[in-house]
Structure 1
Amino acid sequence: MKRLLRRKFEAWLILLAAKILIDRYVQRAAVVSRRDNNDMWGMAEQLDPIAKRISSNYP
């Protein structure tokens, strides 16, 4: 039971990080370069499947 809760919590934290990265994405920000914007979006897309695998105990 403890492992299940830990997996779910870790997956939730990863999804939270992905949400933060996606929310930082802006079309034309003066302080964030376009390349950094695109990198943050790409990282967020990569975090979603990782969180799903952790949550389901790597089927």
Structure 2
Amino acid sequence: MNIIFVLIPIAILFVIIAGAVFFWAIRSEQFEDLDRQGSNILFDEEQPAAKAEEKDKECHDQP
């Protein structure tokens, strides 16, 4: 029964910390543009692939 006197304040502390982190994320605009990050993962491969092809062409063109 004595463990409840320890666990309840720890649980309240966790809730306060989680609430503070949540409100910090809202104030720092972490949730403003959720769609952009989802579409970035779909189109991220095109740029490195193009750079890799350019490097391959440069390597094969040089004697």
The TM-score normalised by the length of structure 1 is 0.43
The TM-score normalised by the length of structure 2 is 0.41
Structure with the higher helix share, 1 or 2: 2
- Relative contact order higher in (CA < 8 Å, ≥ 6 apart): 1
